[in-house]
Structure 1
C-alpha cells in the first residue's frame, strides 16, 4: 500500500521537528574543490545555527567522522556515518511523513544527480534508505526520480512545484505530467498540486521551487520577486505571480502572496549565482536565513524584516549565504527535517 492509502501525509516544514539531518561536504564532488575548507566552515556555521533550536544529525563519510566530531564538540549535534557522494541532503535524502497516530514514515525517492549532471551518484541514491533505517521510519519506495528541493507543502493537502523541474525529461522521461502528479499525491499524501512554470534564472537544479516560492502557512505563499528591467527573473516572477493569483489551494482558498525582493545580481566565473532568500530553513522557534552582504545589504534587511513580520513567533537567525552558494545551493538545500509527532 502507498502512504496516502495508509493515511500518511507530509507535514509542513514549520511543524515541530524532532531534529534535522544534514550531510557533510565531499571534496571530490565539489565544483570548486579548492574552496573545500571555506565550504566546510559554511556547513559548520549552518549546523551551529540550527543547533541553537533543535538537535542536528550530520551524515558523514566514515573517514570524516572523527574530524567532524572534533569541529562540532559542544554543539547539539551527532554524526552518523553513511557513505555519500555529495552533500545536498534535501535532494537525495528521504521525505518524512506522519500518519494520524503520529507514526513516522519516509519516502525513498529515486535520485539521479539532478538529471545526471554529476557522476557518480550511486552512494547518494542509497543515503535515503540508510537514514530511514536509522530512524526506524516505515519506508515507502517511490517509482519516480524526485528531489526534495523541488516540492513544498502546506500540510493541508496542497503542494507547490515547478514544471521546469518535475517535467524535465532528464528525470522521468517515460512519465506524463498526470502520472508524476499521481505519484506525488500517493507518496506525499496531498490532494492538489499548483504548478509554477519556472524557477530562478541560472538554477542548475532546473528550477527547484525552494529557491523561488514556499508556503508560509495554509493559504499564504512567499515568492521571491524581481522588477529589474532586463533580468530574466522579472518575467519569471510575473508569470508565477499570475499563476498564484489565479490558483486556489486544496481547501478552495485563494492564495495570499507575500513578496520578497531578490538580492542583486552576482556571478562567479561567468555564471549567475542563484541567490535566494527563499532558501531559508524552518527550525523549532526559528528561521535560518541566508544573507549576502555588500551590495545586498538593503535586500538582506528587507528579507529579514519580512520574515520577522510573517513569523513573529520565530527568531530570525542569519548565516552567510555566500559561504556555499558557489557549489549550487544554500541552507534549505543542505537540510532535511524530521517531524515530531503532533
Structure 2
C-alpha cells in the first residue's frame, strides 16, 4: 500500500478549509464526577459556536445519542459510536488530503495516554471507525501518538513535545529519528521542531497543543515563561530558546508571539489545572478561544485575534474542561476539505 506520502497525501494545517468538525460527547462519569453536566453544556456550547461556521458532527455512545441531541440542539449531527472518553483530538484520526481530491487519515495507536486510563478499547478503535464512516483511505501505524501531541504548518513542519511522544508509556523503544521518519511518511513532514518543557500536572505528559502552535507558516504562538509559575518557568524558557533558534522546513526563522498564562488554579486533590490559551481551535472563519474569567483573558484574545485577523474570535469559558484534563482543542477534530471535492459522505 505504501505510506500516505507515497500515495500523495499530506496533513494540512488546522486553518485550511474544513469539511466538518468532530466532537465526542462526554461519557466517562468517573472522570467528570460532579462536573459532568457542566461539561456537557460546555461541549454543546463549543459545538454550537463552531456550527455557525461549518458543519459539526458529535459522536455519542449509543445510549447517549438522545442526551447529546437534546443538549446540542438543531443543526448539529449526532452519530452513534462506541467510545470510552470524550477527547476526539486524541482518539480520532489525523485527517489527510491529496491534491487530486482524496481524503485519507492516519489511525494512530492509542493506549490511553501512556496507559494513564486503562479502559480504552473503544477509543483505540475510534479513528478507524471515523475514517470508515467518511470513506477515507485509512493508514495505520504502530506509533503511539495522540492528535494533541502534534501541530503542523501544512508546509512540512511539525511541532512536538518530546516528553509526551517519547514517553516510556507510549514509545519506549523509539528516539527522535524514529518518530521523524514515521511522520515523514505518515503526514508529509520534512522538519520536526522538538520542545521538551511541559506544564506541571498535565495529564497528557506534555501535549504540544498546551504549549505552542503554528498560526501561519513561519509563525508560532507559545507560552510566555515570564507569566509561568516557578516550577514551569525553566521548561518554558527552554521551549522559547528552541523556537528562537529553529527554522522551519522552508528554512525560515520563526516569528514568535508569546501568550500569557492565567493565574494557577488547583483541583480538589491539590493538582494544578492545565490552564493555557494555546488550546484554542481554528475553524472556517473563526477561532474558538478558551477563557477562564482571568485577568489575562483580554490580552490572550487580543494576541490570538492579531494572529488570525481574518477570523472572528469566539470566547468560551473552558474552565470545566480542565477538570477532565483537557481544553477546547482537545475536544475538537477537524476534517479538512480536499482541494478537489470528491464523492465524500
1:166 corresponds to:
165
Match runs of 1:98-247 below 5 Å: 98-228=97-227, 231-247=230-246
Paired residues of 2:96 and 2:104 also in contact (CA < 8 A): yes
Aligned CA-pair RMSD: 1.2
**Partner of residue 333 from structure 1, selected from 330, 333, 337:** 330
- Range with bigger deviation, 187-196 or 170-179: 170-179
Residues 149, 229 of structure 1: CA spacing in aligned structure 2 closer, same or farther, 3 A cutoff?
Answer: closer
**CA apart distance, 1:67:** 2.3
Residue 306 of structure 1: aligned partner: 303
Partners of 1:225 and 1:233 within 8 A in 2: no
User: After superposition, what is the alpha-carbon deviation per residue over 1:274-324, rounded to whole angstroms, capped at 9, x for unaligned?
Assistant: 00101000010000001000xx1x310001111111211100000011121
CA distance in 2, matches of 1:137, 1:27: 28
* 1:284 has 2:295 as partner: no
Map 1:265-280 → 2, pairs under 5 A: 265-269=264-268, 270-280=270-280
The change in CA–CA distance for 1:229 and 1:25 in structure 2 (over 3 A counts) is: closer
Taking the aligned partners of 1:167 and 1:229, their CA distance within structure 2 comes to 24
Partner of 1:90: 89
Question: Shift of residue 232 of structure 1?
Answer: 2.0
Does the 8 A contact of 1:22 with 1:59 survive in 2? yes
Aligned partner of 2:5 in structure 1 is: 4
Superposed CA deviations along residues 107-130 of structure 1, whole A, max 9, x for unmatched, are 010000100011210000011111
Map of 1:56 onto structure 2: 56
**How far apart in 1 are the matches of 2:32 and 2:135?**
36
- Offset at 1:137? 0.5
Distance 2:276 2:302 in 1: 15
Separation in 1, partners of 2:142, 2:117: 21
Which runs of 5 or more residues in structure 2 are unaligned?
340-345
Return the alpha-carbon distance in structure 2 between the equivalents of residues 103 and 35 of structure 1: 40
- Structure 1 contact 224–262 (Cα < 8 Å) conserved: yes
Per-residue deviation, 1:243 = 0.3
2: CA distance, partners of 1:322 / 1:87? 16
Aligned to 2:249: 250
SS of equivalent to 1:272: coil
Rounded Cα–Cα distance in structure 2 between residues aligned with 1:78 and 1:230: 41
Shift of 1:228: 4.5
User: Structure 1's 229 and 91: CA in aligned 2 closer, same or farther, altered over 3 A?
Assistant: closer
Q: How far did residue 179 of structure 1 move? A: 1.3
Shift of 1:230: 5.2
TM-score (norm 2): 0.95
2:263 is matched with: 264
What do residues 190-223 of structure 1 show as CA deviations (whole Å, max 9, x unaligned)? 1010001122222110100000100010000000
1:27 Cα deviation from its structure 2 partner: 3.2
TM-score, normalising length: structure 1: 0.96
> 2 CA distance for matches of 1:51 and 1:220?
27
Which residue pairs with 1:323 in the alignment? Answer: 320
Residues 221-280 of structure 1, C-alpha deviations (whole Å, 9 max, x = no match): 000113147522221221111101111000101111111111111111201000010100
Match of 1:13 in 2: 14
Task: Give, in whole Å, the separation in 2 of the partners of 1:195 and 1:229.
Answer: 20
- Report the count of equivalent residues: 337
Q: Report the counterpart of residue 40 of structure 1 in structure 2.
A: 40
Structure 1 runs of 4+ off > 3 angstroms? none
Which stretch shifts more, 15-24 or 43-52?
43-52
Give the Cα separation in 2 of the matches to 1:340 and 1:229: 37
